[in-house]
A and B are shown apart, each in its own frame.
Chain A
Amino acid sequence: MSRMFPKLLFKGISGLPAARSSRNASGSIYHNGMKYSTTVPNEPDTHDDFKPTNKLENSGLSLKEVVEQDVKDNPVMLYMKGVPDLPQCGFSSLAVRVLKHYNVPLSARNILEDPELKSAVKAFSHWPTFPQIFIKGEFIGGSDIVLNLHQTGELKEKLKDIAVHE
């Protein structure tokens, strides 16, 4: 199913401050914070688990502000384990599968890459587990809730004005 609209699904988060994706003083890179279907690994021999934790400390934005910005700028924002094309957890995988039924741009951050971001997201939503899904700024919940909203038709309603018409 998702093969039908490969390009549109993973829209980049272009509106975020450039500083976040640029090289900072210590030379580490945040890898744009997000991975998309088109992302090529920067260092082929570096597995996600072993990458240095890239902090957002030099971006000028606090992590709380980063999350606020994410949620504001991205109609569908996921904080998940892994990336949409390679979820690292069954629940994250389920959330992605459900959302892929709708022709909407998904934006995602991998919280396994940044423990501090993970804490910031938890504090922001007051929700202890991942994935977490936000639609048009509204906190939706985790995979159980997304699946439930999908089954009742409420998800379609929420997403209808952001669906990409071809």
Chain B
Amino acid sequence: MEEMGSRVGGKVLQLSRASRMRTKLQTALEASSLEIEDVSHQHAGHAAMRMRENNNAGETHFNLKIVSPKFEGQSLVKRHRMVYDVLADELHSGLHALSIVAKTPQEIGPNTK
């Protein structure tokens, strides 16, 4: 997919949203595992997307799997809020939807039932 990875936009090498997201999440939440998948193509035709097609082609919908010790003791809502807070700038600049799986290292550990 063309929107994956870095794009050369004329003169400037622009970082993809996915890589910006990765850096921000890694830094702020000290993620021990992070998977980011751009699924924008699956939503390309849907109602809300048609309006912005020209602005921001692609990079609107992502699946995110993140494991962070900072989620320890936090409810799901709180964990999602933590992710949204870190990505606030992206959400204001065209990031449209995130599917989030947020776990603690313990929850994915070998001892989990």
Contact = CB atoms under 8 A, between A and B. Distances in A.
Tell me the interface secondary structure of chain A in the complex: mixed
Interface in A92-120: 112
A44 to B, nearest CB: 19
Interface residues of A, number: 22
A15 B81 CA distance: 31
Given A128-B84, A139-B77, A89 B100 contact: no
Interface string B11-55: 000000000000000000000000000000011001110100000
Q: Interface on chain B toward A: helix, strand, loop, or mixed SS? A: helix
Contacts of B96: 129
A128 B77 CA distance: 12
Most chain-B CB neighbours within 10 Å: which of A90, A128, A129?
A: A128
Nearest to A152: B76
9 contacts: A81-B47, A82-B47, A128-B88, A129-B96, A141-B77, A144-B76, A145-B77, A148-B76, A149-B76
B84 A127 contact: yes
Interface string A109-147: 000100000000000001111000000000111111100
Of B50, B76, B91, B101, chain A has the most CB atoms within 10 Å of the CB of B76
Contact of B98 (A48, A129, A145): A129
Contacts of B80: 127, 141-142, 144-145
